[in-house]
Amino acid sequence: MSETNELTYEEKVAKLDEILVRLDNSETPIDKLAEDVKEGARLIKELDKKLKQVEEEVMDAFKELDGED
């Protein structure tokens, strides 16, 4: 699929930051604009999914500590 699946969470955040800086500073050539926006949207989805997964794992760990299942 996409090469971003091989990146760590932190690398994805850095890549998203690079895209946002380019877009904010109007540094993205018009021919690459749609590509950058799509890549940024994909990164946001992947980051959100990972955050939700980790949140669930952390909550499960705390439930186990409290003796809940």
pLDDT per residue as tens digits for the range 22-35: 999 998 899 999 99
Helix (H, G, I), strand (E, B) or coil at 7: coil
Return d(Cα 33, Cα 30) in angstroms, integer: 5
Tokens matching residue 16: 């998203």
Return d(Cα 13, Cα 33) in angstroms, integer: 19
Return d(Cα 29, Cα 10) in angstroms, integer: 26
Helix (H, G, I), strand (E, B) or coil at 25: coil
Q: Identify the domain containing residue 35 by its residue range.
A: 3-65
- In this model, does residue 68 exceed pLDDT 80? no
What pLDDT is stored for residue 1 in this prediction? 43
User: How many domains does the chain divide into?
Assistant: 1
